[in-house]
Amino acid sequence: MDTLKEKHSEPANIHEFERIAEEKLKASKNSLWSYIIKASGDRQTYDESMRAFKRYFLQPQVLTLREKPSTWTIVLGNPIRIPICISPVAGQASVIEGGDALTGDAAAKAGTLMVFSSSSSMKIEDFGKVVPRGLFWAQTDLYRDKKSILNIVRNAEGLGFKALVITVDTPVEFMASSGKSDIGDEVDTTETNGAPKKDGEKKECKGCGPTDDTPWQPKTCCAKNETFCMATWQDLAWLKSETKLPIVLKGILTAKAARRAVTAGIDGIIVSAHGGRQLDGVPPPLMALPEVVEAVKGSGVEVYMDGGVRSGSDVFKAMALGARAVFVGRPALWALAVNGGEGVRRMLRIFEDEFTSTMAMCGCQQIRDIDSSFVKHESQFRY
C-alpha cells in the first residue's frame, strides 16, 4: 500500500487522480470505489456532465496581458483565492480517517471554500473543533425532522460558517437502474442520506429512523407517516425565518426553478445534477447554467455550478458562461484516496495552475474579465 502511495503520490492532472484512486481503492475498498463513481439510470447525465465542457471552445484574446492573472474572487461577501471550491460529499471518512477535516484543512490552506456535508460521518461540531480556520458553508437537506436541521444551523452559526447550502434535488432517494456498478461489482447503489452503508447496517432516514433495505427508501420509511420525505417552498420559508445565514440552493437546473428561488429570497444557487447520482436524464449542469444565469439577472443572487469539472479549462468555461465559482465533488475523494490532505492540496494546486494559465492564454487579467466572448459552442462554428 505504502509503495503504491509513494509510486503514485504526484499525479499531474485530475484524470490521473481518478486513475490512481481507482487502482488503490479497487485493491483495498472495492465497494467504496463503486460508491464514489456510481451514477443513476443509464448514466446519461453523468457522462454528459463531462462531455458538455468539450462542446465549448476557447476564444483567446491576444496582446492584452500585462502581468500574471489574479484568480481572487468573492463569494457571498467572502474573498477566495481561487474560484474552485469543494462540493458537499459524504464518504470522505470512509476513504481515509478524518477525511472531512483533511479536506477542510487543505481547502483553507488553498484559500478556498469547502461545503461540509450533513451526511458526513463526522459531526459538524467536531469538524469545527479540528478545523478552526477556513471558509466553510454547511449543507443540509430539508429533512422532515426539523430538529436535525436546526442542529446543523445552530452549529454552523456558532462555528462561524458563512452560509447554508440546501440540497433540493433529492425529494426521494434514487437508485441506479441495475443495482450493479459499471465495474460489475454488486454494491449498494442507494444514496441513503448520501452516505455509504456499511455491511449489515440499517439505513436511517432523518425523518423516521432505521428503515427497510429497499431502493425507494423514503417511500418505505415515511410510509409510516403516509408520505414521502418531500420538502416544499414552505419548508424553505420556515428555514429562512430561523436563521440570518445566507441560503444557497443546490440542485437547480431550470430558469423556472431559479426564478422561484429568487422570489423565495435565497442568496445563491449551485446549478448541479448531484454528480449524475439522482434523476438521470436531466441536462448536464454546464448546459443548464446559461439559462439559470439569465433567469436571476439583476436579482443579486450568485450562481455557481458543479458536475464534471475536471480541469482549469473547464473552470474557465463555466465562468465564461456565468458561474461565479465552481465546485468539485469526486476529485476531492480521489485526491484523499491518493494522498490524504496533501492529495487534496495538490489537486487544488493543479486546478489553480491550469486555470491561471488558461486565463493568461486567453488574455484575462482578472476574474471580472472572463465573459461569454471567450467561449464558443461547437454549433456556432461554420464547418
Taking CB under 6 A as the criterion, the residue among 71, 87, 155, 217 binding ligand FNR is 87
43 is in an annotated binding site: no
Select the residue interacting with ligand FNR from 69, 83, 88, 268 (CB under 6 A).
88
Q: Does 328 bind ligand FNR (CB under 6 A)?
A: yes
Q: Least distance from C-beta 155 to ligand FNR, angstroms? A: 16
Site string for ligand FNR, 9-48 (x = CB under 6 A): ---------------------------x------------
Check residue 83 for interaction with ligand FNR (CB under 6 A): no
Q: Which stretch binds ligand FNR (CB under 6 A): 69-77, 102-110, 258-266, 301-309?
A: 301-309
Residues 136-165 that bind ligand FNR (CB under 6 A): 139
Options 8, 15, 274, 377, the catalytic residue: 274
Query: Which CB, 19 or 376, lies closer to ligand FNR?
Result: 19
Known catalytic residue at 274: yes
What is the Cα–Cα distance from 190 to 162, expressed in whole angstroms?
Answer: 31
Angle at the Cα of 24 from the Cα atoms of 22 and 26, rounded to 5 degrees: 60
In the list 40, 45, 117, 181, the residue contacting ligand FNR (rule: CB under 6 A) is 117
CA–CA dist 234, 237 (Å, integer): 5
Rounded CA separation 339/234 (Å): 43
By CB under 6 A, residue 307 contacts ligand FNR: yes
**Residue 365: which of 59, 74, 64 has the closest Cα?**
64
Q: Using the rule CB under 6 A, which residue among 48, 306, 314, 354 binds ligand FNR?
A: 306
Torsion angles phi and psi, residue 116, rounded to 5: -85, 125
Is 306 annotated in a binding site? The answer is yes
- Taking CB under 6 A as the binding criterion, the range among 2-10, 208-216, 326-334, 345-353 that sits at the site for ligand FNR is 326-334
Q: 6, exposed or middle or buried, with CB in 10 Å at 0-12, 13-18, 19+?
A: exposed
Q: How many residues bind ligand FNR (CB under 6 A)?
A: 25
Residue 279 CB, nearest distance to ligand FNR (Å)? 13
Catalytic positions, please? 274
Query: Under the rule (CB under 6 A), what is the footprint of ligand FNR?
Result: 36, 49, 87-91, 117, 119, 139, 167, 194, 250, 272, 274-275, 277, 306-309, 328-330, 333
Per the annotation, binding residues for glyoxylate are 35, 167, 274, 277
